[in-house]
Amino acid sequence: MGEFDSFVKRLKGNIADWSLERFLDFMKWSIDNSRDGLLKLPALKGYYKNVEGFSAIYVFTTQDKTVQTTARFMNGVMTVEPLAAKEWDLKIVFKDVPAFWRLIISGGNKIVDAILANDVQVYGNLNYLYKFGFMVKDLMSEKLGLDFAHE
């Protein structure tokens, strides 16, 4: 088993134990380390292109507000903050942490199903939600080959 395969296996085995903030930090790390010359994991090559020229503020929270995190995208850079921003372009309120993971593990493919099941409430422009779903799917499925949908 190669180094990349070993990394992916460890990642897949531990992802459900991650916090929302840790997952967003991993997305940030992936963006930061996907540029030519900075590649720490060659499979990530070009992932940063998802945020070139993109600006948005995402707030993620659970209904009981025990989890609150903000992801900011500006000028090709992503930052993660441990609290919910007062101003946002998209706010996603998850029923609970497992509802977040069900959506993430689906690679963003089940956004509508999650809304219909009352697992998430979405405020703001839905295009931002689909953009985030695309970025998650690109990272998890396309770049890292983590296909949870078929398990």
Is the pLDDT score of 6 beyond 50? yes
Residue 128 inside a domain? The answer is: yes
Can you tell me the distance from the alpha carbon of 37 to that of 55, in angstroms, rounded to the nearest whole number? 24
Give, as one character, the DSSP assignment of residue 23: H
Predicted local confidence at residue 16, as pLDDT: 47
Predicted local confidence at residue 83, as pLDDT: 93
Residue 150 inside a domain? The answer is: no
* Averaged pLDDT, 17-26: 79
Structure tokens, 129: 């939600």
What is the four-CA torsion angle of 14, 45, 148, 9, rounded to 10 degrees?
-40
Predicted local confidence at residue 78, as pLDDT: 96
* Averaged pLDDT, 26-51: 86
Predicted local confidence at residue 19, as pLDDT: 76
Span 73-106, pLDDT tens digits: 998 999 999 999 999 999 999 988 788 777 766 6
Cα–Cα distance list, 142 to 43, 44, 47, 82, 145 (Å):
9, 9, 10, 28, 5
CATH of the domain at 29: 3.30.1050.10
Query: How large is the greatest C-alpha to C-alpha distance in the chain, in angstroms?
Result: 46
Is the pLDDT score of 27 beyond 70? yes
Q: What is the phi/psi pair of residue 25, to 5°? A: -60, -35
Q: CB–CB of 141/71 below 8 Å?
A: no
CA 123 centroid distance within chain: 17
Domain coverage including residue 60 = 3-145
Residue 151 inside a domain? The answer is: no
How large a percentage of the chain has pLDDT more than 90? 35
Residue 110 inside a domain? The answer is: yes
Does the pTM surpass 0.75? The reply is yes
Angle at 97 between CA 100 and CA 16, to 5 degrees: 80
Residue 132 inside a domain? The answer is: yes
Predicted local confidence at residue 10, as pLDDT: 52
Is the pLDDT score of 18 beyond 60? no
Q: What is the phi/psi pair of residue 149, to 5°? A: -60, -25
Residue 16 inside a domain? The answer is: yes
Q: Specify the range with the lowest mean pLDDT, choosing from 18-22, 48-52, 59-63, 76-80.
A: 18-22
Residue 60 inside a domain? The answer is: yes
Can you tell me the distance from the alpha carbon of 43 to that of 87, in angstroms, rounded to the nearest whole number? 34
Structural domain total, the chain: 1
Predicted local confidence at residue 150, as pLDDT: 46
Is the pLDDT score of 69 beyond 70? yes
